[in-house]
Amino acid sequence: MIGVYRGPKVEEDGAHVLWIEDDAEDSWTGFDGKNEMRFMNHSDTPNAEMDGLNCYALHDIAVDSEITINYGWADS
């Protein structure tokens, strides 16, 4: 485990908003990141993944390496 994405729930998108899908309700909840986790960037070959608000490494990550996740954008 790398860390937990922390911030208040929001209804509008923003620069550091992480959207979490609620499968049971078929809805999305936004969280406006207020800790260091908000600086994760997108990669098609990420080294971490989100499980709700928890972030986990997919493999060993070297010291001083950027932590990246796949934002899940659909191909256009």
Q: Cβ neighbours of residue 69 under 8 Å, at least 6 residues apart? A: 40, 41, 42, 43, 46, 48, 49, 50, 55
Per-residue pLDDT at 29: 94
DSSP at 58: S
Which of residues 26 and 51 earns the better pLDDT score?
51
pTM: predicted TM-score of the whole model, two decimal places: 0.84
Whether the per-residue pLDDT at 72 is higher than 90: the answer is: no
10-42 pLDDT, tens digit each: 999 999 999 998 877 789 999 999 999 999 999
